[in-house]
Amino acid sequence: MEEKLLNLLNEAHLAEESKDYDKAIKLYEEALRLSVPNDDKAMLFEFIGQCYEKQGRERLAFKNFSKAFASNPEYENGWYLFYRYAQLAYKFRKFDLSIEYLDKVVYKIPSDYQNYIQYSRRLLGNNFLEIEQYKIALSEFKEALKIDTNSHWKSHIYLGIAHAYFGLNKIDKSIKFALKTLKEEYDEVVEERIYFLLAFCYGKKGIHCDTEKELYYTEKLQKEFPDSAYLRELKMVNFT
């Protein structure tokens, strides 16, 4: 690595330590204008992405991580970059890309990082839900459930299982896991989605139809989340 590049990197790292991320980004970008091999180019894009992440500018972070892998598809600087890139890909609805990088990272995460392994499995499940691959989603959520992390994420896993069973039109199992979700510690995201799912399941015509329970969970959704888009979806279903 030539001296000018080393000097720029040292100066950029000092800027990062001082939390002057704009300056660090400019220095890394200046380094990119030098004649550097692809490995170093990928590393510089990663550093720029990390700076944007520290500023809370996730879309720009994602863009630069993408440039890192585009400049060198074989680039690898530990498992965490793959993990974070997969998270951002999911957030920005690049589901196939997220799956690709989660598949790369899930077996590379050290065994003592069980929370990360469980989250990767759960995120794989969410990705497969989005592309309507419900059987694979269910398999990933069940793998996540096998990992005992004593975390509060179990409600998210049960919710994913309930959604996967719903996608497979196994309404009894969807209701079963939706109700299990409510017995766990859960946040507002889970609460809103589970009230909707239960109202929807109980509102379906057939052996699971229960208008009293449908109304109960619809009213809970209305009370806790009066502006929920799910309420409009329930109304649309009831009109059809």
Q: Which strand (E) or helix (H) includes residue 167? A: helix 154-167
At residue 239, the pLDDT reads: 40
185 contacts 169 by C-beta, under 8 angstroms: no
CB atoms within 10 A of CB 238: 10
Residue 16 domain-assigned (yes or no): yes
Residue 29 domain-assigned (yes or no): yes
Tokens of 208: 């699971």
CATH number of the domain bearing residue 70:
1.25.40.10
d(CA 55, CA 49): 10
Residue 14 domain-assigned (yes or no): yes
At residue 150, the pLDDT reads: 66
pLDDT tens column, 91-116: 999 999 999 999 999 999 999 999 99
How far apart are the two ends of the chain, measured CA to CA in Å?
67
Residue 102 domain-assigned (yes or no): no
At residue 205, the pLDDT reads: 64
pLDDT grade for 240, boundaries at 50, 70 and 90: very low
| Residue 44 scores a pLDDT above 90 | yes
d(CA 155, CA 212): 25
pLDDT grade for 234, boundaries at 50, 70 and 90: confident
Domain of 47, in residue numbers: 1-75
At residue 232, the pLDDT reads: 87
Residue 50 domain-assigned (yes or no): yes
pLDDT tens column, 182-229: 999 999 999 999 999 999 999 876 666 888 999 999 999 999 999 999
d(CA 141, CA 164): 9
**What does pLDDT average to over the chain?**
92
Residue 64 domain-assigned (yes or no): yes
Amino acid code (one letter) for 32: L
pLDDT tens column, 109-158: 999 999 999 999 999 999 999 999 999 999 999 999 999 776 678 999 99
- Number of domains the chain contains: 1
Could you tell me the pTM of the whole model?
A: 0.89
Rg of the chain in Å (alpha carbons): 22
Residue 34 domain-assigned (yes or no): yes
Percent with pLDDT over 70 in the chain: 95
pLDDT tens column, 55-98: 999 999 999 999 999 999 889 888 999 999 999 999 999 999 99
| Residue 238 scores a pLDDT above 60 | no
Tokens 């630069």 correspond to what residue? 64
Give the mean model confidence (pLDDT) for residues 34-60: 94
Tokens of 227: 């502006």
Mapped onto helix, strand or coil, the DSSP state of residue 229 is: helix
pLDDT grade for 237, boundaries at 50, 70 and 90: low
Residue 23 domain-assigned (yes or no): yes
- Give, to the nearest 10 degrees, the angle between helix 21-32 and helix 3-17: 160
- What is the dihedral angle through the alpha carbons of 206, 211, 212, 218, rounded to the nearest 10 degrees? 120
